[in-house]
Chains A and B, each alone.
Chain A
Amino acid sequence: MTALLELSGVQAAYGATRALHGIDFAMEENSITALLGANGAGKTTTLRAICGMVRTEGAIRFAGQPIHGRRTEHIARLGIAHVPDGRGTFLHLTTEENLRLGAYVRKDRAAVARDLERVYGYFPRLKERSHQQAGTLSGGEQQMLAVSRALMLAPKLMLLDEPSFGLAPLVVKELFGILRAINAEQHVSMLLVEQNAAMALDLADRACVIETGRVVLTGSADEMKKDDAVRRAYLGY
């Protein structure tokens, strides 16, 4: 069986500053992988590289297909939904319009309507605010909206960039619970970038640790959690 996502020797740069020096990892279908590492290690850039949002070298394959060098919108159409840092909400559109945009590339209207109901099922608060301008939602609600919007694509893979950022611990807990449910029920794979390594490892099956643009460690989430040396050296808790 081929991996769902496979990166080998991926390099990326913003202008003259090189952010990734060679990222190699692969993830299986229906799995959750956490990308861990310090600030500026290149986690966000890795997600951007997958989506074609930065200039990259190296090979990226999605479901066996090379996607390196393709445009962001094409990659999205393949079934990769990116929840970017800062959430990428369309602030001046309503909640429901945001969700509909998530399903923009899908033609199966009936399925979209079903998914909308399902998303509202996961996040009832969004339903209450469905006709409200998204800019008026709270931070937690906007994060839920971002996840929901990604879900509306009916993706095979979701890229989540710091979903817990700026949220109250209780909200984070709720959100992660729902992410777990989504993975279990919808069979959506997830690549998760998190500052909060403990929470990420709880959710993930596997984890990669990135340091200055390189993968320095990969392994199962459980093992990593248990390994005190790893925890101290890379995860800082």
Chain B
Amino acid sequence: MSKKVVTVTILLIAAACVLPFVVSNYRTFQLTLVLVYAIALLGLNILTGYNGQISLGHGAFYAIGAYTAAMLMDQAGMPYWATIPIAGAVCLLAGFLFGLPALRLEGLYLALATFALAVSMPPILKSHLLERWSGGVQGIVIVKPDPPAFLADVGIKLNPDQWLYYFALAIALVLFVIGWNLIYGRIGRALIAIRDHHTAAEAMGINTALYKSLAFGVSAMYTGIAGALGAIAVQFVAPDSFTVFLSITLLVGIVVGGLASLSGAIYGALFIQFVPNIADELSKAAPWAVFGIFLIGFVYLMPTGVAGAMRALLGRLGRGKLSPPKEALP
């Protein structure tokens, strides 16, 4: 990381900390959702962007995380903060286990398997087998957490929206730092090597099976933690919240934000949070049509995502000249 990047990152974090005091509670709530999506997208990016395994089913892990948190709070009376690591652990395991058979699947086949996972999630959540804990079709309403008492004791007054925002921000920061270390460390190099040169990676002695399942697990863990946070923020889980469209939205998020890019997760989160609202403002008759045009437009203008476009732009500004487009030898 260059000094400039560090400075910019610190400034951005500082800005993120000030925001809840500048904007309304409703905006704070929206920003909390952006953080939630950013975590989920980072998770998906570890799998799809860095490791090259496509997933059309990450909404399922988001749902597992959300339901884990909701059921623990509702059934076991567990405090909200304690449910986050448990949701992460459950999803780590679920992702790892799903990743094991998925090892043998690539490309379209993996797309089908994960798509199937996404489609299967609502019926499973509704199933009479789980109804006693999951609330069946009715879902579970959960209580919004209040800021902890010790903050008030030291004179910091926060409303629940602000508190939840900071809670999510803290978790997001921790997860992004872990993600950064993961991706720029040995594991990340292995993941990328597997993505780009599978056979060569194997020859280099990388245990591709282990790393690929691990990527699935870690990816699911991130998305699951996001799901848990999302459930706490929204105060409600129901099967209808986690349809296949959630999975597709997440995929759209990483592609528009930028594949294999940490900052891409944030751009993607902003996109999936705000662009549907803009589409709705523009047309009540066919909001999806407007959204679709936005989607295609983004891909046209920035085929490597917002992060890729930003990189190119910064590179240009930095060197003050046009860098030639890289054209691979056929």
Q: Is the A/B pair a real complex?
A: yes
- Please report A residues at the B interface, Cβ cutoff 8 Å: 14-16, 53
The complex places the Cα of A53 from the Cα of B325 at a distance, in Å, of 18
Q: Is B330 touching A53 in the complex (CB atoms < 8 A)? A: yes
A53 surroundings in chain B (CB, below 8 A): 330
Q: Is A15 touching B330 in the complex (CB atoms < 8 A)? A: no
A-B contacts, 8 of them at CB < 8 A, read A14-B327, A14-B329, A15-B324, A15-B325, A15-B326, A15-B327, A16-B324, A53-B330
The complex places the Cα of A14 from the Cα of B330 at a distance, in Å, of 10
A33 to chain B, nearest CB (A): 24
Which residue of chain A has the shortest Cβ distance to B325 in the bound complex? A15
Write the B313-330 contact mask toward A (1 if CB under 8 angstroms, else 0): 000000000001111011
A15 surroundings in chain B (CB, below 8 A): 324-327
B329 surroundings in chain A (CB, below 8 A): 14
Which residue of chain B has the shortest Cβ distance to A44 in the bound complex? B329
The complex places the Cα of A15 from the Cα of B330 at a distance, in Å, of 12
User: What is the total number of residues of chain B having a CB less than 8 Å from a CB of chain A?
Assistant: 6
Which residue of chain B has the shortest Cβ distance to A86 in the bound complex? B330
> Chain A interface secondary structure, helix, strand, loop or mixed?
loop
The complex places the Cα of A53 from the Cα of B324 at a distance, in Å, of 19
Write the B106-124 contact mask toward A (1 if CB under 8 angstroms, else 0): 0000000000000000000
A16 surroundings in chain B (CB, below 8 A): 324
The complex places the Cα of A15 from the Cα of B323 at a distance, in Å, of 10
The complex places the Cα of A15 from the Cα of B327 at a distance, in Å, of 6
Give the 8 A-B residue pairs with the shortest CB-CB distance, closest first. A16-B324, A15-B327, A15-B324, A14-B329, A14-B327, A15-B326, A15-B325, A53-B330
Which residue of chain B has the shortest Cβ distance to A84 in the bound complex? B330
The complex places the Cα of A53 from the Cα of B326 at a distance, in Å, of 16
The complex places the Cα of A16 from the Cα of B330 at a distance, in Å, of 15
Which residue of chain B has the shortest Cβ distance to A53 in the bound complex? B330
Which residue of chain A has the shortest Cβ distance to B327 in the bound complex? A15
The complex places the Cα of A16 from the Cα of B329 at a distance, in Å, of 12
The complex places the Cα of A53 from the Cα of B327 at a distance, in Å, of 13
B71 to chain A, nearest CB (A): 49
The complex places the Cα of A15 from the Cα of B326 at a distance, in Å, of 6
Which residue of chain A has the shortest Cβ distance to B330 in the bound complex? A53
B330 surroundings in chain A (CB, below 8 A): 53
B275 to chain A, nearest CB (A): 33
Which residue of chain A has the shortest Cβ distance to B329 in the bound complex? A14
A46 to chain B, nearest CB (A): 15
B250 to chain A, nearest CB (A): 33
Of B324, B326, B327, chain A has the most CB atoms within 10 Å of the CB of B327
Which residue of chain B has the shortest Cβ distance to A48 in the bound complex? B330
The complex places the Cα of A20 from the Cα of B327 at a distance, in Å, of 16
A43 to chain B, nearest CB (A): 14
B326 surroundings in chain A (CB, below 8 A): 15
The complex places the Cα of A53 from the Cα of B329 at a distance, in Å, of 11
B46 to chain A, nearest CB (A): 30
A140 to chain B, nearest CB (A): 23
B154 to chain A, nearest CB (A): 58
B215 to chain A, nearest CB (A): 29
B200 to chain A, nearest CB (A): 18
The complex places the Cα of A15 from the Cα of B322 at a distance, in Å, of 13
Which residue of chain A has the shortest Cβ distance to B326 in the bound complex? A15
The complex places the Cα of A15 from the Cα of B329 at a distance, in Å, of 9
Contact residues of B between 279 and 330, Cβ < 8 Å to A: 324-327, 329-330
The complex places the Cα of A16 from the Cα of B321 at a distance, in Å, of 14
The complex places the Cα of A16 from the Cα of B327 at a distance, in Å, of 9
The complex places the Cα of A14 from the Cα of B327 at a distance, in Å, of 7
The complex places the Cα of A16 from the Cα of B324 at a distance, in Å, of 6
A48 to chain B, nearest CB (A): 8
Which residue of chain A has the shortest Cβ distance to B324 in the bound complex? A16
A14 surroundings in chain B (CB, below 8 A): 327, 329
Q: A16-B324, A53-B330 are in contact. List 4 more A-B contacts (CB 8 A).
A: A14-B327, A15-B324, A15-B325, A15-B326
A173 to chain B, nearest CB (A): 30
